[in-house]
Each structure stands twice: as structure tokens, then as C-alpha cells.
Amino acid sequence: MENDLIFLPVLIQVALTFWLYIYLAIAKSRAVKLGQVNEARRSLHDDAWPDNVLQINNCIRNQFEVPILFYVLVVILWCTGSINIFIHFLAWCFVMSRIIHARIHTGSNYVPLRRKIFMAGCIVLMVTTIFSIYAILLV
């Protein structure tokens, strides 16, 4: 049962993605009401939207890049019975890095800080990958 708890950070990551979609819908609706959208270009061109909408949209795209590796690693570790407290810790660290990254991305969008948080999450995934390889070789 406690091995199944590894899916809690996965579900939080999924919830973050859904939250960003909701936030995007709100931002787009607001932009349309304020007349900030180029109606002729909006269906095919991202540049029809104001910057705050693009920030959220870009952040959503990010949720389908590196986090995919996280999902795969969690499933591999769960399937091989390699979940332990260290993996739980790494999973929560990764998800926290994604939450902080999304907050920066959709807020100040200060790239040097955003990059540091992104790299921290990537390092967590690299460590998780190394552990996964080690766990599979021992099975």
C-alpha cells in the first residue's frame, strides 16, 4: 500500500497541469473582454494573445516536456518494486520544483531564477534515473 503513495506526487503534478489550463481559460477570457486579442489571428497564431496569456500557455507546454520523464520513472520504479523513502523524497522534490517553476513562469517570469528551479528539478530526475537503472539491474 505505501508503494502506491508514490502516485500522490504524480497526481499533484497532474493537478498542477489542470490548474494551469483553468488559469489559461480565465486569462484568455479576460483578454477577450478587454479587447487585447487580435481576433483575426487568434485561432492559429499565439502572437494574437497578450504576453500574460502566452506565459501561461508556455508554462502548460512545459508540463508536457520534462514531467513526462517523471511519470515514466515513477511507473518503472513502481513496477519493479523499487519505491522507497528516498524515491518518495525525490518525487516530492521534483513536484515542488515544478510548482515553483510554474509560479515563476506565470508570475514574474524572471528567467535566471526560473532556470535554476528548472535545473534543480532536472537534477532530481537525473538522480531518480540513476537510481532506476541501479534498481533494474538488481532485479
Question: Where residue 74 sits, what CATH number does that domain have?
Answer: 1.20.120.550
Q: Rg (Cα) of the chain, in Å, rounded?
A: 18
114 compared with 135, residue with greater pLDDT: 114
**% of the chain beyond a pLDDT of 70:** 99
**Average pLDDT score over the chain:** 94
- For 41, which DSSP code? T
Would you state the cell numbers that stand for residue 53, as one nine-digit string?
Answer: 496569456
Confidence of residue 114 (pLDDT cuts 50, 70, 90): very high
| pLDDT per residue as tens digits for the range 88-100 | 999 999 999 999 9
| pLDDT per residue as tens digits for the range 37-76 | 998 888 888 888 999 999 999 999 999 999 999 999 999 9
80 compared with 1, residue with greater pLDDT: 80
Residue range of the domain that includes 6:
2-138
Please tell me the total count of domains within the chain: 1
CA 109 – CA 101 distance, rounded (Å): 9
| Position 1 pLDDT exceeds 60 | no
Contacts by 53-56, CB closer than 8 A, 24 or more apart: 53/24, 53/27, 53/28, 55/105, 55/106, 55/109, 56/20, 56/23, 56/24, 56/27, 56/106
